[in-house]
Amino acid sequence: MRLQTVFFHINLLIKIYSGTTIISAHHKPEADGKFGNQTNDETMFSISIAECNMRCSLNSRCVSFFYNSLTKLCILHSNPFTYTVIPNLGTGWKLYVTRDRTGRCPDNFFFYRQLDFCYQFRPTIQAAYISCPLGKLQRIDTEEKQNYTMKITADIELVYNAAICIQGKNTGTGWKFLDGTLMTYSNWGWNQPFKNSNQLRMIRWKNYVWATTSDTVNCSYLCEYP
């Protein structure tokens, strides 16, 4: 047995012994027979779904995993594959999407531990009616969060073909988040920000650059918690 494998099993035993449950994994039957291995974060052999799940819980970038019970391959991903097309077909593959079990996120939110980001996708609506019953509209304050949002919404236009609204407004004193904090990261498109505005959105078909808009336009969005 390789040392790495020994360490893994020790880790597994410690987890079981201490009874910590960080995440739970949920099978998505509609994705049976599909898998993604292009932009995966980590691929390995695992003797069982439980071991693959444990590997996922040990990787702060893991939000979902593909497991193949025939080949014992386990592929960890940061993407929940809600609004992205799964690229490959193959026998024996099943997709498991995780949920937080530490109490950090509400039920039905995904948890990207790497960015401490609890989020939920929401349907297209007029920006003025954006509603996050738990938490608030997504804020993007780093390039890493911008990139992650691009990744998880890569094919969202197949379901919601509108721009994606994010936090940010300028009523004359600079671009600020809803809590009044000045925004220090931005990804403005050409000739933007065009004007002071109540609403910011990411234009997917222009590589997710930011544009100002009024709150009478339609957009889809993510809510984050808290």
Ligand X SMILES: *[C@@H]1O[C@H](CO)[C@@H](O)[C@H](O)[C@H]1NC(C)=O
Binding site for ligand X (CB under 6 A): 37, 88, 90, 124-126, 143-144, 147, 218
Whole-number Cα distances in Å, 161 to 67, 98, 125, 164, 223: 31, 26, 11, 9, 18
What is the nearest approach in angstroms of ligand X to the Cβ of residue 222?
16
**Separation CA 74–CA 57 (nearest Å):** 13
* 11/198 with CB nearer ligand X: 198
90 vs 92 by CB, closer to ligand X: 90
- Least Å distance between CB 81 and ligand X? 15
Instruction: Tell me the closest approach of the beta carbon of residue 113 to ligand X, in angstroms.
Output: 16
The nearer residue to ligand X, 21 or 142, going by C-beta atoms, is 142
Least CB distance to ligand X at residue 68 (A): 10
Minimum distance of ligand X from residue 40's CB (angstroms)? 8
Contact at 8 Å (CB) between 105 and 126?
no
Give 57 or 130: the residue with its C-beta nearer to ligand X. 130
Nearer residue to ligand X within complex by CB, 90 or 193? 90
DSSP letters of 144-213? HHHHHHHHHTTTGGGT--S-EEES-B-SSS--B-TTSPBP----B-TT-S-S--SEEEEEGGGTTEEEEE
Question: Which amino acid is residue 14, in one-letter code?
Answer: I
